[in-house]
Chains A and B, each alone.
Chain A
Amino acid sequence: MTDLTLTLNGAAVSVSVQSNWTLLQVLRDRLGLKGAKEGCGVGVCGTCTVLLDGRPISSCLMLATNVAGRDVLTIEGLGGDGHLDPVQQAFLESTAFQCAFCTSGMIMATKALLSSMPDPSDEEVKDYLAGNLCRCGTYVEVLRAVRRARELVQATP
């Protein structure tokens, strides 16, 4: 076991990890953050999406040791004090989920999309989110939610 220190959802965190643990395992099994899910385990489905230094990654394919000293944002780090992040709010308003297993990944990917591209076209949204799968097939609602999130983010000073 080695000690790993990172910034997680804005706070410094230290945790002992084994070299063969993925970031997803550490988040879920050591730190109790169950928002990121293990779907496929091979980087295809997007349910384990978290942001590393602001960029979306598959936490199931990241060795935990590689986040030492870096900034990790999970769905648990959005919103706070009884209010939702605009992206969460938009997904809720648009009912952009059915079983919701994919939702935290969809929201984190959308969060990254809107921070790198504040005014994406529908085609750009589809291209960016193509790697986040929803087996309930709520893609139409997800697209609507991203459009709504774009409005809410733009309206936020």
Chain B
Amino acid sequence: MRRFDLIEPTTLAAAAGILADEPETKAIAGGTALLILMKQGVFLPQRLVNLKKVRDASYVDFDPRRGLRLGALTPIFDVESHPLVRRHYPVLADAAHKVANIRIRNLATIGGNIAHADYQSDPPAVLVALGARIATIGPSGERRLPVEEFLKGAYETALEPGELVREIEVPPPEPEFEGVYLKFVTRTAGDRPCAGVAAFARCDRGVVETLRIVVGAVNPVPVRMTAVEERLRGRRVDPAAVEAAAQLAAEAVDPIDDDLRGSAWYKRQVVPVLVRRALEQILGLVPSGRERS
């Protein structure tokens, strides 16, 4: 790795100030994405701002009325293992658990995950489905924006020069929601997803009342399956209807391109199958915890 200067502020505000003054300087947190790009010579910084020495930015807070707040520098492993996340947001905990491997999850941060905006990642789809908001800090103060507005494209965010992710906010858990995150990998167990589906539903006496389905790792940003949702909303839960609705997902995705995890054509085949499996689980058409093929 080429040499670079490392600046080590102890507050996010100080880090943001440096980044605002020096447009060429970038921030590094867990380093699991950036160090790879630097080793490969894709990214050759002169100066970096190390966020790992920032204090009080790694925390998991939960309040039943306010919801969940994750400090930007919280390791992904802490998101998956925190008792309150597991209890109130089990789907988010599961998606965090499905990221890479235990070593990476101990290093990588949830703020870095969202700020890097790698489209081939697990947490963003769930955060979109949960209606999360991203709180930022920067030269013009603090901002809060929905995660789907924050994510602008593959590796592109709404962050302005000098702005950093400060916190991720998830609304309070919704009662009687069934949810699931399904990850499909085509290489090793710890690989990035070929496709991922986050789905949440609430039924009232066998009728689908609310449904939210988000597909990740296919489009440049996580994408809501509104056509599938509309087809099933207000309808009685029925395997044939679910199967037919899931097919609409193939048309609703627009794969970014062929990538190492699957061609655009292949992802179009995979997505409706994953959406059907997710729906079958959350609508009680298969015993929970079992994934039908």
Contact = CB atoms under 8 A, between A and B. Distances in A.
Contact of A109 (B1, B28, B102): B102
Given A19-B4, A130-B190, A55 B100 contact: no
B101 A130 contact: yes
B104 A131 contact: yes
Counting chain B residues whose Cβ lies within 8 A of the other chain, the interface size class is 20 to 34
Interface size class of A (residues with CB under 8 A): 20 to 34
Contact of B107 (A18, A20, A58): A58
Nearest to A50: B103
B106 A131 contact: no
Contact of B39 (A21, A42, A49): A42
A69 to B, nearest CB: 10
A46 interface: yes
Contacts of A44: 101, 188, 190
Interface in A13-50: 18-22, 41-44, 46, 49
Most chain A beta-carbon neighbours within 10 Å: one of B52, B103, B106: B103
A61 interface: yes
Interface in B18-48: 28, 31-32, 35-36, 39
Nearest to A112: B102
A87 interface: no
B2 interface: yes
- The listed residue with most A CB atoms (<10 A of its CB), out of B3, B106, B188, is B106
A109 B4 CA distance: 31
B32 A20 contact: no
B136 interface: no
Nearest to B40: A42
A65 interface: yes
Contacts of A109: 102-103
A42 B102 CA distance: 14
Interface string B114-126: 0000000000000
B104 A58 contact: yes
B8 interface: yes
B278 to A, nearest CB: 20
A57 interface: yes
Nearest to A105: B103
Given A63-B50, A65-B6, A131-B189, A22 B1 contact: yes
A41 B5 CA distance: 22
Given A44-B190, A57-B103, A65 B3 contact: no
Contacts of A57: 103, 106-107
A52 B101 CA distance: 15
Interface string B2-18: 11111010000000000
A62 B36 CA distance: 11
| Most chain B CB neighbours (cut-off 10 Å) among A41, A65, A66 | A66
B281 to A, nearest CB: 19
Contacts of A41: 39
B150 interface: no
B4 A46 contact: no
Contacts of B39: 41-42
Given A22-B35, A55-B106, A130-B189, A43 B101 contact: yes
Contacts of A61: 31-32, 35-36, 104, 107
B85 to A, nearest CB: 17
Contacts of B77: 55
A20 B2 contact: yes
A75 interface: no
21 contacts: A18-B3, A19-B3, A19-B5, A19-B6, A20-B3, A41-B39, A42-B36, A44-B101, A49-B103, A57-B103, A57-B106, A57-B107, A58-B32, A58-B107, A61-B107, A62-B107, A63-B31, A66-B52, A66-B53, A109-B102, A131-B102
* Smallest CB-CB A-B distances: 10 pairs: A131-B101, A130-B189, A19-B6, A58-B103, A131-B190, A55-B106, A20-B1, A66-B52, A42-B36, A20-B3
Given A19-B3, A43-B103, A131-B102, 14 more contacts: A18-B3, A19-B5, A41-B39, A42-B36, A43-B107, A44-B188, A57-B107, A58-B32, A58-B104, A61-B31, A66-B50, A112-B102, A130-B190, A131-B104
